[in-house]
Structure 1
Amino acid sequence: MADRQTFDSDSEDEMPPGWEERVTTDGKVYYANHEAQKTQWFHPVTGKKKMVKGELPYGWERNITDDGTVFYVDHINQKTTYTDPRLAFAEEVKDNPLDFRQKFDASSSALQVLMGRDLTGKYAIITGANSGIGFETARSLALHGATVVMACRDLESAKRGKVTILNELAQAKVETMHIDLASLNSVKAFADKYIQTGWPLHILILNAGVFGIGFSMTEDNLEQTFQVNHLAHFYLTRLLVNVLMESAPARVIVVSSESHRMSTLSERDLFEDRVSPPKAGNFWHFDAYNNSKLCNVLFANELNSRLLPHGVVANSLHPGNMMSSGMPRHWWLYRLLFALVRPFTKSMQQGASTTVYCAVAEELSNVGGLYFNNCCRCPPSKAAFSKSMAAALWSLSEKLIDSRERQRVQ
């Protein structure tokens, strides 16, 4: 192996003259010095060791000629190269596998997170995928080969979103299915229909939610914000849990919010007689939203502890602050406020980045029960760490679902 050397460059990863970067069949990056006719495992400038992981990017194929020469074909752009395209996304070999060095930040987009990834063969369900962050999440995964099911209340809007994606990539695999989270019967019908397809489920993204609505009851005799933002997603996951375990490794991603830090929810509130039937007297929509977002984090943590031994991990996240999505549509004042701050907030692509990161990051393949913001792990609120509160929420959620399932049978 050749000795390490230094030279002047604007980039620490730039190769010195006479050097070439190559990849072994098992993904190890090595460096060839053509002048000295020697090779080494560490970068000649930085001394770092790297590896490439996973399959070739979506649309690429590796071929070998009769004389053993390896070359790569980009079918989408109709180009051929002798350089493994995964080299552009090579990662440093870490001594500590739990070293989550931040790769992306608030300015990163979902498509940037997915660069170099081929999700062919992966099946994903995304609730609320017809607009905003949900649509960009669906679009990004579909453009990288995943089969995406857009689970939406507004099915016509979902179909228009599907057309938009197919116009961008004709071979994208996108399905639309109806679900109304304000109706547990609709959730059950969706799950039954999905199970009947026989498809696996590798990524379940619980994205849909409501914000800023006044006190209202669902057909299930539950307060709407609590049901739509938490309980219906809990029910959907419960109905699909066997599919998730059979498809393992699989992931459940719960879209929460930094608003969970302002929740007033306590463990003594997590009893059936406190939420069913709901009380209108002291209702404040913002408090209801904050509480539902804390439920999202608690649910993800408890779900992860229960399913991790079965190959399913669960994480929660904050997508971004006051983005120009459909969330504030229920009150003109919120619509005005969100419009005023729009130039200073994330785009929908940037808002989808943390969701996509949690869904595909290889370093999270066996790690769950975490909360993310700007594609980086961060501590949630103190209440979100409470194991007893998470267990109490799980017990309450099961009781509420079980009682309504019994009513349906009767």
Structure 2
Amino acid sequence: MPGFLPDSDSEDELPPGWIEKADENGKVFYVNQNQEVKWTHPRTGKAKRVRGDLPFGWEKRNNESGKILYVNTTTGQETFTDPRLAFASEIPTKNISDVRQRFDSGTTALQVLHGLDLSGKVAVVTGSNVGIGFETARSLVLHGCTVYFCCRNKKSTEDAIASIVKEKSSLGKQCKFIHLDLSTLKSVKEFCDNLKSEISHLNFLILNAGVFALPFSTTQDGLETTFQISHLSNFYLTNELSSLVDNRSRVIVLSSESHRFSNLSLENMDEQKLSPPASKYWSMMAYNNAKLCNVLFAIELAKRWKDRGISVFVCHPGNMVSSQLSRNYWFYRLMFALVRPFTKSLQQAASTTIFCATATELTGLTGLYFNNCFFCEPSKVSQIDEMQTKLWSISEKMVNDILNGTNFVF
């Protein structure tokens, strides 16, 4: 009696409608008839790369439109398909246990970047006019990166950029300012449109901006301020910039160890719990919940963008770092001042963000939580798949409600 035959005689055979290509860096990707792109094999889930020299007689050239063309100088054959694709080798799956710790809580951002040249790289750092965001942006600029300072306060941002230029005048051309007010999705949309009109590719998207210890208030969009600024606007901004990121890009979301003290659960998480009314508002719990949202969002985003080869990491910069985060309430300003001798400097606090953005040993990894320049386990609730997808769905609905039912596609 004949047995059932497999759909193909090789697990590497592509499903109908898919074709295989390679980018200019040799990374293999797959495209279907609907122009959907995957950076892993649609059937096996494995990644590949072409390596070595072109076969004898082949040359790589650019045609008149700048597109890469492969030419066989012997036969005159021309093709846009890399002739090495037939011999592409599988990229070994990286295990996080193979990554060894190189830095710790005392490491500075500039020490993480030692020896690295980021010339030609482009970064977006939100909230980069002060504190940890400023040190993050400054460190990247000092190593050749072009950084977009994305902030609400133009004067403060110009002063921040001026202080970098004072260190070295030539750095001014690497510092760009685009206005961004995370308290309104209209401003987020304008920011994204402005950025997309200036650049076509983004290497580092660093979601640093956030607020802490605010008295109850609502945004122009009618939501509780801590939730919108710290999570929802970042959710919308990231999805709006999807076209600028690819397998060479990393997304870094700043959270906090405070996410472990959230009171959100799968049963109680809804729009009112995320954006509570004044009668149910406590500033510290609003912050804890927003920080849990950061972790849930980063992990869910990592899963959704994994096939595109984009690494997404979430990190804790440090406990009670002396920055302007505590500026909204005298009690927290006093607490931060008292513990200042025992906490990280701003340069040390920026180190984990910089490590997540630039460390070569993290290539191929995604969805990890970092503290002190090394990955660790986030809270148990943040690891619940249903929590991650539920937050995404609620956030998607809230954005579309604000945008008057325009059905923004995530």
TM-score by length of 2: 0.74
Q: Deviations over 1:108-149 (max 9, x none)?
A: 000000000011111100000001000000000000011100
Q: Which of 367, 371, 374 is the aligned partner of 1:373?
A: 371
Maintained 8 Å contact 1:259/1:293: yes
Maintained 8 Å contact 1:270/1:396: no
Report the CA distance between 1:243 and its aligned residue.
1.0
Residues in 2 aligned to 1:139 and 1:102: alpha-carbon distance in whole angstroms: 24
Q: Deviations over 1:160-218 (max 9, x none)?
A: 11111122233321101111111111111100100111341110000011000121111
Q: Quick one: structure 1 residues 212 and 95, their matched pair in 2 at CA, closer, same or farther if it must change by over 3 Å?
A: closer
Which secondary structure does the structure 1 equivalent of 2:212 belong to? coil
Residues in 2 aligned to 1:274 and 1:322: alpha-carbon distance in whole angstroms: 26
Q: Specify the alignment match of 1:287 in structure 2.
A: 285
Report the CA distance between 1:268 and its aligned residue.
2.8
Instruction: Name the % identity.
Output: 50
Report the CA distance between 1:279 and its aligned residue.
1.7
Maintained 8 Å contact 1:249/1:365: no
Residues in 1 aligned to 2:404 and 2:201: alpha-carbon distance in whole angstroms: 28
Residues in 2 aligned to 1:403 and 1:305: alpha-carbon distance in whole angstroms: 25
Q: Which of 291, 314, 327 is the aligned partner of 1:329?
A: 327
Q: Specify the alignment match of 1:347 in structure 2.
A: 345
Residues in 2 aligned to 1:216 and 1:407: alpha-carbon distance in whole angstroms: 25
Which secondary structure does the structure 2 equivalent of 1:327 belong to? helix
Maintained 8 Å contact 1:272/1:399: no
Residues in 1 aligned to 2:302 and 2:354: alpha-carbon distance in whole angstroms: 18
Maintained 8 Å contact 1:123/1:199: no
Q: Which of 380, 388, 395 is the aligned partner of 1:382?
A: 380
**Which residue identity lines up with residue 110 of structure 1 in the other structure?**
A
Q: Specify the alignment match of 2:400 in structure 1.
A: 402
Q: Deviations over 1:291-341 (max 9, x none)?
A: 000000010000000112112111101000101100110111111111111
Residues in 2 aligned to 1:298 and 1:182: alpha-carbon distance in whole angstroms: 21
Maintained 8 Å contact 2:317/2:372: yes
Q: Specify the alignment match of 2:238 in structure 1.
A: 237
Q: Quick one: structure 1 residues 96 and 204, their matched pair in 2 at CA, closer, same or farther if it must change by over 3 Å?
A: closer
Maintained 8 Å contact 2:94/2:364: no
Residues in 2 aligned to 1:275 and 1:117: alpha-carbon distance in whole angstroms: 40
Which secondary structure does the structure 1 equivalent of 2:311 belong to? strand
Q: Quick one: structure 1 residues 194 and 264, their matched pair in 2 at CA, closer, same or farther if it must change by over 3 Å?
A: same
User: Structure 1, unaligned stretches of length 5 or more?
Assistant: 1-93
Report the CA distance between 1:406 and its aligned residue.
1.7
Q: Specify the alignment match of 1:161 in structure 2.
A: 160
Residues in 1 aligned to 2:139 and 2:117: alpha-carbon distance in whole angstroms: 11
Q: Specify the alignment match of 1:201 in structure 2.
A: 202
Q: Specify the alignment match of 2:187 in structure 1.
A: 186
User: Structure 2, unaligned stretches of length 5 or more?
Assistant: 1-91
Q: Specify the alignment match of 1:129 in structure 2.
A: 128
Maintained 8 Å contact 2:274/2:289: no
Which secondary structure does the structure 2 equivalent of 1:338 belong to? helix
Report the CA distance between 1:272 and its aligned residue.
3.4
Q: Deviations over 1:244-298 (max 9, x none)?
A: 13xx31111000000000010112333335556x422121110010000000001
Q: Which of 278, 294, 297 is the aligned partner of 2:295?
A: 297
Residues in 2 aligned to 1:347 and 1:273: alpha-carbon distance in whole angstroms: 37
Maintained 8 Å contact 2:400/2:406: no
Which secondary structure does the structure 1 equivalent of 2:118 belong to? coil
For residues 71-150 of structure 1, what are the structure 2 equivalents within 5 Å?
A: 98=96, 99-150=98-149
Maintained 8 Å contact 2:121/2:145: yes
Q: Specify the alignment match of 2:307 in structure 1.
A: 309
Q: Quick one: structure 1 residues 366 and 279, their matched pair in 2 at CA, closer, same or farther if it must change by over 3 Å?
A: same
**2:355 maps to 1:357:** yes
Root-mean-square deviation (CA, aligned residues, Å) is 1.8
